[in-house]
Amino acid sequence: MAKPYPPPAFVAPAKPGEPVGFFTDSSICIGCKACEVACKQWNNVPVDDIRYLNSSYDNTGELSANSWRHVAFIEKKQADGGVAWLMNSDVCKHCKEAACLDVCPTGAIFRTEFDTVVVQADVCNGCGYCIAACPFGVLTRREGIASHPETNGVAQKCTLCYDRLSGGEEPACAHACPTKSIQFGPLDELRERAQQRVADLHAEGRTEARLYLADERDNGIGGAGSMFLLLDEPGAYRLPEHPVVPTRRLKEIWGAAAMAAGLAVAGVLFAFGSSRR
Amino acid sequence: MSAPPSYYGRPVVKEPVWSPEVAVYFWLGGLAGMSAVLGFAARLARRPVLARASLLAGFAALLACPPLLIADLGRPERFYNMLRVFKPTSPMSLGSWVLSFFGGALGVAAASEVTGWLRPIGRLGELGAAIFGLPLFTYTAVLVADTSVPVWHEARHHLPFVFAGSASASAGAAAAILTPSRESGPARRLAILGAGVELGAVAVMERQLGRVARHYHHGPAASPARMARMLTAGGALLMVAIGRHRAGATIAGTMILAGSLAERFAVLRAGPASARATAGGETVRAIASELGRPPRPAWQR
């Protein structure tokens, strides 16, 4: 017998040591932004400067220190002249090889017992390295929020509701999602469910459906804690086609640096060696 | 080929937030690190005048480094968290430790040089500063290359050579200005060599970057990049032509120093422009094995 989809709302508490995450199924997202609101309410994420962005129903714009969930709205022209309205709730990918975590010089960013990636706001000194390192452009520095002086100047992002997980609850966004487009659970289970879902959609003739970051190891980021089912190319949703963790190439970069330093030493030796006194 | 899909022209990668102070630090840190190497070599070659000039020039450059770095932080009062952990995966963490040890060693060396006290310990400081100087003038290139900014990451094999050449040119130039021409031969040669390496590495880097190299020719990085080329090349030629005279070396050295600073500004300014261009499909290229199922590195398991 086929399992009901989406699955019932009840979610067993996350167990420490068992990787958990999100499967965001954009095919059943209705663009209500309950996730954005729930996230702001639960995590006390301040309101950004709200401007009219001229991008369908999206005035949030992109993920940032003050937007840990972001619902994208795409108006896609169809061959028959109609418009397909695509929505997807984006979030931190909680990479298994996390660039932000690797480059953070203070240890403010750490990996939790749930295999998620969290910034400690009271340790971060706002060096900005994680911002440029993240291949998904998730992080920014929170600046000039009068109501949040303790986190101004500090990098902020989704914590996958670390406090709620510790308390046996699911993340606020997944809890608030009325269609279960955002599904929380153990990653093994989510991966399996995502594969089944995309197969079902293909069987229905919706061949534009594709999985993003649902491979355990793939994607140049060693696997992700957030996977997506998309109805268009990743780029249409502001997602990189082939994300790569820059820190993966750290050895070869240091190798080049060692050769450059060696060349400089050789230059010094030559400069002295060729002197006639 | 159709245009890559884009979400309302919004960049995929966020712009780096590093301020101009960081470019000045890259320059001064490179100058200090290479000056320590040059000074130690001069000591070994029994050229005390050149050794002293390099040592003190390096120390002067070093003094400005911590304030510049702290000013760039979002929470400057927490600067000491940079030494909270020792983290080999973070070039900034390694750099903070390198700068600390380098500063300690060079401070001891400079103090001994000026006062004449504890000469053996001062010499030991010079050795330590020379050792830590080598990573000091290269780690900054590793730092910017280890990001998702295409113009930096795609130049990861070349930026260390740009920075090492630039640091050598500036350290040689500073010593050539501060030393009588009879003593400054090695410094002048180092400045000329370094300028050549810098210009060559920039040319190779831009060739390898292909279309991404346009950030060094258009936009905010274009003018410092042009100034860097002109000042470095002009300064090196002048150093060859009239470097044997102190006044000539001073003019040429000043140009090389300014060119080296301009080069760091060019690199730093190219970053945000490249991050913005990720809206139009500019990206860090995945290599074949990264599209498959590569094993997780040992330190991540």
CA distances B136 to A152, B31, B92, B98, B290, Å, are 30, 9, 11, 6, 31
**CB contact residues (below 8 A), chain B span 24-53, against chain A:** 34, 37-38, 41-42, 45
The confidence score (pLDDT) of residue A101 equals 96
- Strand pairing category for A20-25 and A83-91: unpaired
Does B78 have pLDDT greater than 80?
yes
Q: What whole-number distance in Å separates Cα of residue B223 and Cα of residue B265?
A: 9
Query: CA dihedral in degrees (A2, A4, A5, A9; nearest 10)?
Result: -150
Using the beta-carbon criterion (under 8 Å), do A241 and B34 form an inter-chain contact?
no
The confidence score (pLDDT) of residue A12 equals 83
- Has residue B227 been placed in a domain? yes
Q: Looking at per-residue confidence, does A6 or B210 come out higher?
A: B210
Q: Could you tell me the pTM of the whole model? A: 0.93
- Give residue B138's pLDDT band: very low, low, confident or very high (50, 70, 90): very high
Does B115 have pLDDT greater than 60?
yes
Partners of A128 on chain B (C-beta within 8 Å) are: 16-18, 72, 74
Give me the CATH number covering residue B247. 1.20.1630.10
Using the beta-carbon criterion (under 8 Å), do A72 and B7 form an inter-chain contact?
yes
Does A84 have pLDDT greater than 80?
yes
- Give residue B301's pLDDT band: very low, low, confident or very high (50, 70, 90): very low
Using the beta-carbon criterion (under 8 Å), do B90 and A105 form an inter-chain contact?
yes
Using the beta-carbon criterion (under 8 Å), do A135 and B297 form an inter-chain contact?
no
Nearest CB to B75: which of A72, A126, A270?
Answer: A126
The confidence score (pLDDT) of residue A8 equals 73
- Has residue B178 been placed in a domain? yes
Does A9 have pLDDT greater than 80?
no
Partners of B12 on chain A (C-beta within 8 Å) are: 135-137, 235, 238-240
Q: Looking at per-residue confidence, does A220 or B299 come out higher?
A: A220
Interface test with B, best of A70, A74, A125, A191 (most B CBs within 10 A): A125
The confidence score (pLDDT) of residue A4 equals 77
- Give residue B268's pLDDT band: very low, low, confident or very high (50, 70, 90): very high
Q: Residue A115: which region, alpha, beta or left (left: phi > 0; alpha: psi -120 to 50)?
A: left
Interface test with B, best of A129, A156, A228 (most B CBs within 10 A): A129
Give the residue numbers spanning the domain of B169.
Answer: 20-274
- Give residue B139's pLDDT band: very low, low, confident or very high (50, 70, 90): very high
Q: What whole-number distance in Å separates Cα of residue B39 and Cα of residue B35?
A: 6
- Has residue B182 been placed in a domain? yes
Domain segments of chain A as ranges: 20-244, 251-277
- Has residue B233 been placed in a domain? yes
Does A277 have pLDDT greater than 70?
no
ipTM: 0.92
A184 phi and psi angles, rounded to 5 deg: -110, 145
Contact A25, A184 (CB under 8 A): no
- Has residue B295 been placed in a domain? no
Strand ranges for chain A from DSSP E: 20-25, 69-77, 83-91, 109-111, 117-119, 140-141, 155-156, 182-186, 210-212, 226-230
**Shortest distance, CA B280 to any CA of chain A (angstroms):** 10
Does A206 have pLDDT greater than 70?
yes
With a pLDDT cut of 70, the percent of chain A lying above it is 96
The confidence score (pLDDT) of residue B121 equals 92
- Has residue B192 been placed in a domain? yes
Nearest CB to B164: which of A243, A248, A260?
Answer: A260
Angle at B93 (CA atoms; ends B150, B264), nearest 5 degrees: 45
Does B263 have pLDDT greater than 50?
yes
- Give residue B2's pLDDT band: very low, low, confident or very high (50, 70, 90): low
Residue B1 sits at the chain A interface (C-beta within 8 Å) = no
Residue of B4, B126, B119 whose CA lies nearest to B56: B126
Residue of B112, B141, B106 whose CA lies nearest to B126: B106
CA atoms within 13 A on the CB side of A64: 16
Does B3 have pLDDT greater than 70?
no
3-state SS string for B138-178: HHHHHHHHCCCCHHHHCCCCCHHHHHHHHHHHHHHHHHHHH
pLDDT digits (tens, 9 = 90+) for A142-193: 998 989 999 999 999 999 999 999 999 999 999 999 999 999 999 999 999 9
Contact A168, A13 (CB under 8 A): yes
CATH topology of domain A20-244: Alpha-Beta Plaits (3.30.70)
Residue of B nearest to A242 (CA): B286
Does B189 have pLDDT greater than 80?
yes
**CB contact residues (below 8 A), chain B span 109-138, against chain A:** 134-135, 137-138
Partners of A220 on chain B (C-beta within 8 Å) are: 286, 290-291, 294
- Residue range A56-72: mean pLDDT, rounded: 94
Using the beta-carbon criterion (under 8 Å), do A218 and B293 form an inter-chain contact?
yes
A255 CB neighbour count, 10 Å cutoff: 15
- Has residue B122 been placed in a domain? yes
Does B241 have pLDDT greater than 60?
yes
Q: What whole-number distance in Å separates Cα of residue A69 and Cα of residue A85?
A: 19
Residue of A183, A256, A149 whose CA lies nearest to B142: A256
Residue of A nearest to B279 (CA): A238
**Token pair 């929505």: residue:** A87
Does B296 have pLDDT greater than 70?
no
**Shortest distance, CA B88 to any CA of chain A (angstroms):** 9
Does A274 have pLDDT greater than 90?
no
Using the beta-carbon criterion (under 8 Å), do B87 and A105 form an inter-chain contact?
yes
- Give residue A137's pLDDT band: very low, low, confident or very high (50, 70, 90): very high
- Has residue B290 been placed in a domain? no
Does B230 have pLDDT greater than 80?
yes
The confidence score (pLDDT) of residue B295 equals 45
Number of domains in chain B: 1
- Residue range B127-145: mean pLDDT, rounded: 96
Partners of A65 on chain B (C-beta within 8 Å) are: none
